[in-house]
Structure 1
Amino acid sequence: MKYLRVAALILLFFFSMLFFVQNHELLSTTVRLHLDLLGAEFQSRDIPYYLIVLLAFVAGGFISLIYLLAEKIRLSGEIRKNRARIKDLEEEVNSLRNMPLDNDSFVMDSQENGTRP
């Protein structure tokens, strides 16, 4: 599994570098971002497209990481709860196994079935 993950990262790096090399001219052009929010205007400096693409990729990675960590924490809590439930059920099974058989109830059950004790 580790080798597959390393191979996937190498392929991702290769294709991203290929993308940047083949689109160098277009990605080198600059753009100025503009935001008009409730009457307040914000404008950025000239930013090259490749920086925007790179920042979007990094932001997506961080958002995915946060989501996966939250999911892992939720599943860990569920595992902990299920292990506690399993422990309680095992204790109940062991207590039922160790209960002494009442001889009178055994005799009555045997007589109802038509068998001898």
Structure 2
Amino acid sequence: MKYLRVIALILLFFFSMLFFVQNHELLSTTVRLHLELFGAEFESREIPYYLIVLLAFVAGGFISLVYLLAEKLRLSSELKKGKAQIKDLEEEVNSLRNMPLDDENYTSETPEQQESRP
């Protein structure tokens, strides 16, 4: 599994570098971002496209990391609750195993056989 991850990372790096090299001219052009929000206007300085693509990639990776971390924490707490429940049930089974059996309460006879007894 480790090898597959390493290969996937190498392929991702290779294709991203290939993308940047083949589109260097287009990605080097600059753009000015403009945002109008509730009457307020915001404008960035000129930034190259490759920086926008790179920042979007990093932001996506960070958001995925946060999501996966939250999911792992949720699953680990669920696992902890399940293990505690299993432990409680095992203790209950062990306590029931160790209880002495009463002959009066636990017989192998059917109710008809018990009635026919003198």
User: Is the structural similarity TM-score above 0.5?
Assistant: yes
The root-mean-square deviation of aligned C-alpha atoms, in Å, is 1.5
Q: CA deviation at 1:40?
A: 1.3
Change in Cα spacing, 1:15 to 1:113, as seen in structure 2 (3 Å) is farther
Who is 1:31 aligned against? 31
Note the alpha carbon deviations across 1:83-105, whole angstroms, 9 max, x for none: 01000000111111111110122
Who is 1:97 aligned against? 97
Who is 2:116 aligned against? none
Q: Runs of 5+ in structure 2 lacking a partner?
A: 114-118
Cα distance in 1 for partners of 2:94, 2:10 equals: 53
Q: CA deviation at 1:58?
A: 0.2
Who is 1:58 aligned against? 58
Q: CA deviation at 1:113?
A: 7.1
Who is 1:110 aligned against? 109
The count of residues paired between Structure 1 and Structure 2 equals 114
Identity of matched residues, %:
79
Q: Runs of 5+ in structure 1 lacking a partner?
A: none
- Of Structure 1 and Structure 2, which has the larger fraction of its residues in helix? 1
Q: CA deviation at 1:5?
A: 0.5
- Of Structure 1 and Structure 2, which has the larger fraction of its residues in strand? 1
What amino acid does structure 2 have at the position aligned with 1:110? E
